[in-house]
Homo-oligomer: A and B are copies of this chain.
Amino acid sequence: MITEMELIKSKLQKKEITPTYIRLRVLDYLEANKVHPTAETIYKALVKEIPTISRTSVYNTLNGFLEKGLISSIFITGTETRFDSNTSPHHHFFCEKCGQIIDLDIECSYFKKGYVKGHKIKELHGYFKGICKNCIKKRR
């Protein structure tokens, strides 16, 4: 039987990232909290259990993961970067009411083709702003 942490460890190794304790915990946090947290959110959550962890280590770790393509990052709010353990190209929905960022499993024909108007596409970044399904219900 494989433990959760062993699974996380193998994910790091697959991307040739030395699996240190901090790296395990940061990736574990991202996999367990798919709400697109900020570096600060991750730091605050981890420092409770790892009192010696530094903010810089969280940033370094996340940047390392990004470089190796283990995670992705999104800018939506305009102030902070948010992180996502999901690296497959997908869209997001930002709810103006509750602030939630929801993953959207939708397709983009241009991305599938690999080109738009003659430009070669490498990355897709798409998000909508509006009122989420849940907040529409609540208003009634």
Contact = CB atoms under 8 A, between A and B. Distances in A.
Interface of A: 73, 75-76, 78, 81, 91, 93, 95-96, 102, 104, 106, 110-111, 116-133, 136
B119 A133 contact: yes
Copies of this chain held together in the complex: 2
B122 A125 contact: no
A123 B119 contact: no
Given A122-B129, A124-B128, A125-B125, 18 more contacts: A73-B78, A75-B78, A76-B125, A93-B117, A93-B119, A106-B110, A106-B117, A110-B128, A111-B128, A117-B133, A119-B131, A119-B136, A121-B129, A122-B128, A123-B129, A123-B130, A125-B127, A126-B126
Majority SS of interface residues in chain A?
strand
26 contacts: A73-B78, A75-B76, A75-B78, A76-B125, A93-B117, A93-B119, A102-B119, A104-B117, A106-B110, A106-B116, A106-B117, A116-B128, A119-B130, A119-B132, A120-B130, A120-B132, A121-B128, A122-B129, A122-B130, A123-B128, A123-B129, A124-B128, A125-B125, A125-B129, A126-B126, A126-B127
